[in-house]
A and B are shown apart, each in its own frame.
Chain A
Amino acid sequence: MSANATIIEIVLSAILINNFIFSQFLGCCPFLGCSSKLDTAAGMGLAVIFVMGLASAICWIVNEYILIPLHLDFLQTIAYILVIAVLVQFVEMFLKKSVPSLYSALGIYLPLITTNCAVLGVVLLNTQYNFNFLQSVVYGVTGGMGFMLAICLMASVREKVAFADYPESFEGFPVALVTAGLIALAFMGFSGMKIV
C-alpha cells in the first residue's frame, strides 16, 4: 500500500485482503490463546480495536511532532512500545474508574494487549507506508476489526472442533493451528480482489 491509498482501499485491505492474522501473522499469540470461547474472543477483539485505533493516532502524533523534528526517528521502536504500554495502562485505569462493567468483562486481556504484535505492527506499518493522520487512524481501527473478525470466526469454529475426533497428539495448539490454516485458506479467496 502507498501513501495515496483511499480510505475505502485501506478499509477493505485491513479487514479482508491483508487480514492481520491470516495474511500477515500479526497478533497470533492472543489469537490462539483467547479463542477457545466466543464471548472472551469478542471482548478481546473489542479491546484490540480500541487500543489499535488510539495507538495509531498517538504514535502518529509522537512521530510527526516529536521524533522527526528532533531527528530521533531511529528511536521509533522504543518510543512506540513506550506509548503503547502507557496507553494500555491508562485505558485500564480509565475503564476501571468509569466503565467498571466493561473493565471486568475484559479482565486479564487488557494488560496483555501491550505485547500483542498486531498493535506495534500496525503502528510500524503506518510509519512504513507514510500514512497521514486520518489514514493511520482508519488503518488502526479497521485492522482491529479484521483481528476481531478473525478471532470470532476462530472461536466459533473451535467450539465445534472441541467435540471432533482427532489424533491425540494434535490436542491443544496443533489442532487450533490447523484450523487457523484452513480459515486462512478461505481468506486467500479475497487476495484475488483487485481494488483500483
Chain B
Amino acid sequence: MNIKQQFKEGLVTNNPVLVQLLGMCATMAITTSLFNGIGMGFSVLIILTCCNVVISLIRKIIPNDIRLAIFVLVIAGFVTIVDLLLQAFIPALSESLGVFIPLIVVNCIIIGRAEAFCQKNPVGASFFDGIFQGLGYTCVLICMCVIREFLGKGSFGSGLINTTNGIGTGSGVHIFPAEYGALVLTLPIGGFITLGCLIALMQYVLRRSEEKKAAKANEEKEAANV
C-alpha cells in the first residue's frame, strides 16, 4: 500500500468519522470552538500514531486471545502521557476538554485501527496510517467547529484568534453579532444534527463519484464493443 493511497483513504474515502463512523462521542461533544477542535484533533493524532507504531512493533508477539486487553493497555499508557502533558503545558485546553481527554482510551478510532490495520502491517505503513487517519479526524473536527461556531455564535476561531488573556480565551473574530446566531447549534442538539448532515453529504459525494466511475466504465465497455 503506497503513501498516496493511504493519504486519500484517511482524509476522504475511508475517513474515520464520516465513513467508518467511529469515535462519534468526542466529535459531537467538544466541537463548540476551534481551539477545542484543533486541540482534540492533534491529541488524537499523536496518540493514534504512537499506538499504531507500538502495536505494529509488537504485533508478532501478542497472543491472539488477549490482544484487545493489550491494545487497551498500550492506548491507556499513551493517553495518560498526553493527558499529563496537556495539564502541565496547556492547562486551558485540558480544562475545556475535561473528561474527554482520558476518554480517548475508549475512542473506537484507535482500537479500530489497531485491530484493522496495525495487526497486519509493518511499522512504516502503520506510522503513516496513524498520521493520515489522525489528520482525517482533525479535519472533520475543524469542519464541525467552524460550522457550529459560525452559525451558532457568528464568530470564527474563538480561543485561537484575538485572544485576550493567553491561548484558549477570547471569542475570536465576530462576523455577525452573536444574538443573530442560531444558538441551538452550540447546544448538544446542534452536534447531532451537524454531524448527521456532514455524514449525509459525504455519502452523497461518494455515491456520485461511484456513479460517475460506473458510467465511465460502461462507456468504455460500449466503445470497446462497437
Contacts and interface: CB of A to CB of B under 8 A. Distances in A.
B80 A75 contact: yes
A interface, over-half SS: helix
A177 B99 contact: no
Interface string A153-196: 00000000000000111111111111011101100100000000
A174 B106 contact: no
Interface stretch (A46-54, A63-71, A98-106, A116-124): A116-124
Contacts of B23: 29
A24 B106 contact: no
A167 B200 CA distance: 9
B76 A77 contact: yes
Interface stretch (B51-59, B167-175, B184-192): B184-192
B108 A115 contact: yes
A128 B108 contact: no
Contacts of B193: 177-178, 181
A78 B207 CA distance: 41
A36 to B, nearest CB: 14
With most chain A CB atoms within 10 A of its CB, the pick from B69, B79, B188, B204 is: B188
Band of interface residues on B? 35 or more
A121 B102 CA distance: 9
Given A24-B29, A74-B80, A121-B99, A177 B188 contact: no
A181 B189 contact: yes
Nearest to B21: A173
B200 A77 contact: no
B199 interface: yes
A175 B25 contact: no
B103 A117 contact: yes
B83 interface: yes
A121 B105 CA distance: 11
A121 B196 contact: no
B76 A81 contact: yes
Contact of B195 (A124, A175, A177): A177
B145 interface: no
A32 interface: yes
Contact of B106 (A22, A115, A181): A115
A76 B99 CA distance: 12
Contact of A115 (B80, B111, B189, B190): B111
Contacts of B197: 174, 178
Nearest to A23: B188
B199 A22 contact: no
Nearest to A125: B99
B25 A117 contact: yes
Given A29-B108, A128-B99, A188-B189, A169 B196 contact: no
Nearest to B191: A25
A82 B99 contact: no
A176 B203 CA distance: 14
Contact of B25 (A26, A75, A81, A168): A26
Interface in A111-143: 114-117, 120-121, 124-125, 128
Given A25-B191, A184-B189, A173 B25 contact: no
B191 A78 contact: no
Contact of B105 (A120, A172, A181): A120
A117 B106 contact: yes
Interface of A: 22-29, 32, 74-78, 81-82, 85, 114-117, 120-121, 124-125, 128, 167-178, 180-182, 184-185, 188
Query: What are the 4 A-B residue pairs with the smallest beta carbon separation, nearest first?
Result: A177-B196, A181-B192, A25-B29, A169-B204
23 contacts: A25-B188, A25-B191, A32-B21, A75-B80, A81-B72, A85-B69, A85-B72, A115-B108, A117-B25, A120-B102, A169-B207, A170-B200, A170-B203, A173-B199, A174-B197, A176-B196, A177-B192, A178-B192, A178-B196, A181-B190, A181-B196, A182-B189, A184-B192
